[in-house]
Amino acid sequence: MTDAARPLVLISHQMLSPVQQALEAAGYDVARRWELVPGQADQVRAIVHAGEIPLSHEFLESLPRLGLIANVSVGYDGVDVPWCRARGIEVTHAKGLNADDVADHAIGLLIAGWRNIVAGDAVVRGGGWRDDPRVGNRPGLRGRKLGVMGLGAIGEAVAVRGAALGMEILWWGPREKPQAPWPRAASLTALAQASDILIVACRADETNRKAVDREVLDALGAHGMLVNVARGSIVDEDALIAALKEGRLGRAALDVFETEPTPVARWADVPNTVLTPHSAGGTVDSIPRMVGQALENVRLFIAGEPVMSAV
């Protein structure tokens, strides 16, 4: 049972369970989506959400008092924002709060994959270190062309870091950015064609689903590398795996996947890859900021005040 005097806030996914204690301490009753009991749906005022998890129209329609979806994440691709707005449901997100952390991880993946660091670690641990060439010589990064797909907060932070490594920066996104200090390619395929390494750092939506397809991967080429720290939906994962196996793409480093957790067997025989478990934005520095902002947006909404960081 819930206390009628305490607003009911819904946690949308088990990964957000640690937020429950803070919500209760702030004076809210808390429901869990995976344990929702009869009668609770009618009382839900706000959802604290992980933005990549889909929230269906049908589910949202079952919450007649819902007025806010507060995404802890920067991304909100699991939420149909125009649909929500048309029904008076506000949507917020953690805009820019983990951009530096995600950019750091992207550059870490870039270096680890480009310089065979993970493969080199396996050689040392497996007793394969000999006096003959170690793992295979790789080119350096200075002077290489780094293409950035999406020049938002994360993409810009990636570009700044790439430039500090002596790389030549170019980018592509659907909208012009006249103040950007780096040239914009004519298209995503043109960006891939001109790049040695392509980093996907854009916001995911229906317009870019599987945008990094076979054509883009072939343009990047047998000596090129793909890094994805955005969303798995942006890359045609089947096409990516085929390109790596067939040698049409040189290498890839991924923090996000089509299905998460990604099946282990899917990557068992895929060469030249570095994989991490969607951890780019999760640091002890950024997570408290992101959670704190989501909780503040809940407080502001319940108090009838304007929220922060609306989408």
Q: Are 36 and 108 found together in one domain?
A: no
Catalytic site includes residue 260:
yes
Q: Are 296 and 257 found together in one domain?
A: no
Q: Are 166 and 17 found together in one domain?
A: no
Q: Are 130 and 198 found together in one domain?
A: yes
Q: Are 74 and 215 found together in one domain?
A: no
b/e sequence 130-160, b meaning 16+ C-beta within 10 Å: eeeeebeeeeebeebbbbbbbbbbbbbbbbe
CATH of the domain at 35: 3.40.50.720
Catalytic residue among 57, 87, 209, 260: 260
> Among the listed ranges 42-56, 94-108, 127-141, 175-189, which one has the minimum average pLDDT value?
127-141
Catalytic residue among 278, 289, 296, 299: 278
* Measured distance CA(72)–CA(282) in Å, rounded: 11
- pLDDT, one tens digit per residue, over 44-81 is 999 999 999 999 999 999 999 999 999 999 999 999 99
Q: Are 252 and 144 found together in one domain?
A: yes
Examine residue 82 and state whether it is found in any structural domain, yes or no.
yes
Examine residue 16 and state whether it is found in any structural domain, yes or no.
yes
Examine residue 310 and state whether it is found in any structural domain, yes or no.
no
* Measured distance CA(46)–CA(174) in Å, rounded: 32
Region 250-277 average pLDDT? 97
Structure tokens at 155: 């993409």
Task: Report residue 5's pLDDT band, with 50, 70 and 90 as the boundaries.
Answer: confident
The neighbour count for residue 200, using CB atoms within 10 Å, is 30
Beta bridge partners of 169: 146
Task: Report residue 134's pLDDT band, with 50, 70 and 90 as the boundaries.
Answer: low
Q: Are 267 and 129 found together in one domain?
A: yes
Catalytic residue among 203, 231, 237, 258: 231
- Picking from 106, 120, 102, the residue whose alpha carbon sits closest to that of residue 225 is 106
- The DSSP secondary-structure symbol of 75 reads -
Region 15-22 average pLDDT? 95
Catalytic site includes residue 130:
no
The pLDDT score that the predictor gives to residue 1 is 45
Q: Are 109 and 212 found together in one domain?
A: yes
Q: Are 62 and 112 found together in one domain?
A: no
Examine residue 2 and state whether it is found in any structural domain, yes or no.
no
Structure tokens at 180: 């950007």
Catalytic site includes residue 61:
no
- The tally of domains found in the chain comes to 2
Q: Are 75 and 33 found together in one domain?
A: yes
- Picking from 219, 229, 162, 230, the residue whose alpha carbon sits closest to that of residue 195 is 219
* Measured distance CA(183)–CA(185) in Å, rounded: 6
Residue 29 is inside which H or E element, if any? Answer: strand 29-32
Examine residue 249 and state whether it is found in any structural domain, yes or no.
yes
CB 211 within 8 A of CB 234: yes
Instruction: Print the domain residue range for 125.
Output: 98-275
Strands 251-254 and 225-228: parallel
Examine residue 3 and state whether it is found in any structural domain, yes or no.
no
* Measured distance CA(114)–CA(132) in Å, rounded: 20
Find all residues with CB under 8 Å of 12, minimum gap 6, and list them.
Answer: 33, 47, 48, 49, 50, 53, 55
Length of the chain: 311
Find all residues with CB under 8 Å of 42, minimum gap 6, and list them.
Answer: 63, 64, 65
Q: Are 224 and 159 found together in one domain?
A: yes
Q: Are 62 and 128 found together in one domain?
A: no
Examine residue 308 and state whether it is found in any structural domain, yes or no.
no
Examine residue 1 and state whether it is found in any structural domain, yes or no.
no
pTM of the model: 0.92
